[in-house]
């Protein structure tokens, strides 16, 4: 596993720059990343993910999971949050480090024929600007592997959950049976790679190193988290169910310890998805804006101390009633980054506020 426990500012800058290109390509159709999905291909993926989200949320609600208020992490263009809001009458927040992706949410909501949007928050997942014990439900897909270790991020998610559940999906775990003898010529989402037959792709995956636009842009892609690492990260929950899916759809379950039944997955790698449960006080939040906390006050008082700061909404900003710090709202996206990080990541929006 990667030794460091936090994303660096350089990683965050890389995420922002890369996601800005994706947002532009997938809204305007301009080809900025020729080895990535085109606008038309991406639109179809968005429709598929919306359908998958609808089915997944229907399944968890039938098992007694409360969806409101919710928090989506790594929301990007927010198609999943839009489905939860529109199809399940839930209220929630969609959080991401990429302002450019969050601001495309109206575009993709229209594509999906949905009209209910969550509160959009541009923030750092290492320091979630939400009060403790706020949300009944949190979820993320393909999100936790963008960090050196999932454990601190899962701990933050656990902190902001009240009595409720965290649903996560499609996260890679480490493959031990691998020799990187050569580097593939095509990038992972390129037409060259997608047109290879299944068996060739599988064979190459054991003997080659992937190329991707994300990594080449400096985005952190961590597929080296072991099964023990995932079990450790999830142990913060009172209980959890996690499913491992390896090559050819081989499935097993990850529990508090990694046993011999996980041997095939341990060797071949794959993805892990699951649901964690936190018990405790029920969320008393009346509206999603009450969940927001001041990043400046959090850095002073500590994340778990006190009841949090009240943020007052103005037309172009939210302001803290305790420390008087203000944070801009741009195109419906609330920036809740500590001022020093706002200056480093979004200097164009920091002027006049910091």
pLDDT tens column, 293-330: 999 999 887 655 556 678 999 889 999 999 999 999 99
Terminal-residue alpha carbon distance, the chain: 37
CA of residue 197 relative to chain centroid, distance: 30
User: What mean pLDDT comes out for the span 37-65?
Assistant: 97
b/e for 62-81, b at 16 or more Cβ within 10 A?
eeebbbbbbbbbbbbbbbbb
b/e for 204-220, b at 16 or more Cβ within 10 A?
bbeebebbbbbbeeebb
Alpha carbon separation from 215 to 14, 219, 225, 226, 299 (Å, rounded): 9, 5, 17, 20, 31
Q: Is 327 left (phi over 0), alpha (psi -120 to 50) or beta?
A: beta
CA of residue 63 relative to chain centroid, distance: 23
Q: What is the pLDDT of residues 92-148, one digit of tens each?
A: 999 999 999 999 999 999 999 999 999 999 999 999 999 999 999 999 999 999 999
* Nearest CA-CA partner of 230 in 117, 318, 151, 341: 151
β partners of residue 95: 73, 121
Mention every residue, 6+ apart, whose C-beta is less than 8 A from residue 41.
none
CB 99 within 8 A of CB 346: yes
CB 178 within 8 A of CB 39: no
Residue 27 token pair = 């809204």
CA of residue 83 relative to chain centroid, distance: 16
Q: What is the pLDDT of residues 67-102, one digit of tens each?
A: 999 999 999 999 999 999 999 999 999 999 999 999
Q: What is the pLDDT of residues 153-211, one digit of tens each?
A: 999 999 999 999 999 999 999 998 888 888 888 888 888 888 888 878 878 888 888 89
- Say if domain 9-177+216-286 classifies as CATH 3.40.50.10090: no
pTM score: 0.93
Mention every residue, 6+ apart, whose C-beta is less than 8 A from residue 207.
178, 179, 180, 181, 182
* Domain range annotation of the chain: 9-177+216-286, 293-330+337-354
pLDDT at 307: 61
Q: What is the pLDDT of residues 212-261, one digit of tens each?
A: 999 999 999 999 999 999 999 999 999 999 999 987 788 888 875 666 66
């Amino acid at each position: 596993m990667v030794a460091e426990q936090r994303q660096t500012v350089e990683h965050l800058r890389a995420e922002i720059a890369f996601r800005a290109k994706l947002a532009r390509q997938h809204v305007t159709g301009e080809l900025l990343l020729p080895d990535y999905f085109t606008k038309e291909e991406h639109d179809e993926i968005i429709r598929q993910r919306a359908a998958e989200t609808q089915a997944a949320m229907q399944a968890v609600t039938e098992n007694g999971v409360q969806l409101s208020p919710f928090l989506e992490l790594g929301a990007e263009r927010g198609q999943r949050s839009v489905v939860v809001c529109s199809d399940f009458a839930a209220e929630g927040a969609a959080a991401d480090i990429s302002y450019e992706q969050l601001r495309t949410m109206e575009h993709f909501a229209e594509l999906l024929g949905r009209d209910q949007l969550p509160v959009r928050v541009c923030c750092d997942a290492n320091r979630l600007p939400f009060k403790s014990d706020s949300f009944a439900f949190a979820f993320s897909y393909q999100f936790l592997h963008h960090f050196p270790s999932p454990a601190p991020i899962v701990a933050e998610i656990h902190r902001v959950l009240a009595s409720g559940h965290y649903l996560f999906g499609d996260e890679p775990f480490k493959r031990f049976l691998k020799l990187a003898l050569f580097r593939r010529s095509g990038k992972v989402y390129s037409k060259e790679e997608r047109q290879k037959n299944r068996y060739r792709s599988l064979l190459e995956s054991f003997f080659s190193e992937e190329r991707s636009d994300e990594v080449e842009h400096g985005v952190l892609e961590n597929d080296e988290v072991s099964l023990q690492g995932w079990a450790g990260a999830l142990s913060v929950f009172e209980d959890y169910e996690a499913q491992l899916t390896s090559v050819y759809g081989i499935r097993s379950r990850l529990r508090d310890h990694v046993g011999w039944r996980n041997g095939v997955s341990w060797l071949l790698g794959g993805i892990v998805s699951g649901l964690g449960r936190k018990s405790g006080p029920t969320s008393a939040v009346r509206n999603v804006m009450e969940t927001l906390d001041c990043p400046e006050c959090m850095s002073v008082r500590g994340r778990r101390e006190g009841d949090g700061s009240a943020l007052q909404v103005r037309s172009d900003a939210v302001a803290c009633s305790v420390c008087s710090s203000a944070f801009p709202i741009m195109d419906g996206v609330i920036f809740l980054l500590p001022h020093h990080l706002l200056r480093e990541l979004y200097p164009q929006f920091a002027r006049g506020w910091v």
